[in-house]
Amino acid sequence: MLITHDTRCALDTVVDLVNTVPDDDTTPDGLADVAALGDFVRNHKVSDVGTLSEFDLAAVRKVRGRFAEVFAAPDARSAVMTINELVAAAGTTPRLTDHDGFDWHVHYFAPGASVADHLAADCGMALAFFVVAGEQERLRRCEAPDCRRAFVDLSRNRSRRYCDSRTCGNRLHVAAYRARRKEAAG
């Protein structure tokens, strides 16, 4: 499937958003306060965002929870229900833009939308196009038992199982290797 630059940005943003939720109780929330939300917005170049408030933080966290459901969805139909609710609640105004030197692409968030509605609309539509292309199963959670981070599997044969093969995949390989050696030695 064709993934445009903007869809790619929206996918990266939604994956990073879902992964701001800590894996365990000892890690702090990646969106702990309004300042952290400000950093997130800047790092992901979310455009047209005004002054952020506690209200925005609470709303973004809520949207984040819904997006996590999409990545955990067992099939396309359940992913679709969540995406439809997210996009409907945000309201959308598709419009073409070539801001900041990008080629023509469509923004979905309504003018003046809150940051939560902006993310719900644009990231929601990026995920919607994945489902339309029959690619819902590429929206995954890492299979490492202590991880469960969200990722988008862009491999040719949809074979990726871990969020980052250099950390999670390797960690498991090393653990399996050690277990085999221990068994052989014992």
Residues of this chain, 167-186, that bind Zn ion according to CB under 5 A:
168
Nearer to Zn ion, 76 or 165 (CB): 165
Size of the site for Zn ion (CB under 5 A): 7
Give residues with Cβ within 8 angstroms of 95, minimum separation 6.
Answer: 106, 107
Cβ distance to Zn ion smaller for residue 8 or 181 = 8
Contact range with Zn ion by CB under 5 A, out of 16-24, 66-74, 132-140, 149-157: 149-157
In angstroms, rounded to a whole number, what is the distance separating the alpha carbons of residues 96 and 75?
31
**153 neighbors 167 (Cβ within 8 angstroms):** no
Binds Zn ion (CB under 5 A): choice among 37, 128, 142, 150? 142
Please answer whether residues 38 and 95 qualify as being in contact, where contact means their C-beta atoms are separated by less than 8 angstroms. Answer: no
Judge whether 79 and 139 are in contact, CB under 8 Å: yes
- Contact (Cβ atoms closer than 8 angstroms) between residue 37 and residue 31: yes
Q: Which string of x and - marks every residue 97-136 that binds Zn ion (by CB under 5 A)?
A: ----------------------------------------
Q: Which residues contact 118 (CB under 8 A, 6 or more apart)?
A: 46, 48, 49, 90, 109
Identify which range of 12-20, 26-34, 87-95, 164-172 contacts Zn ion by CB under 5 A: 164-172
**144 contributes a contact to Zn ion by CB under 5 A:** yes
Question: How far is C-alpha 47 from the geometric centre of its chain's CA atoms?
Answer: 17
User: Shortest approach of Zn ion to residue 99 CB, angstroms?
Assistant: 6
The contact set with Zn ion (CB under 5 A) reads 142, 144, 147, 149, 162-163, 168
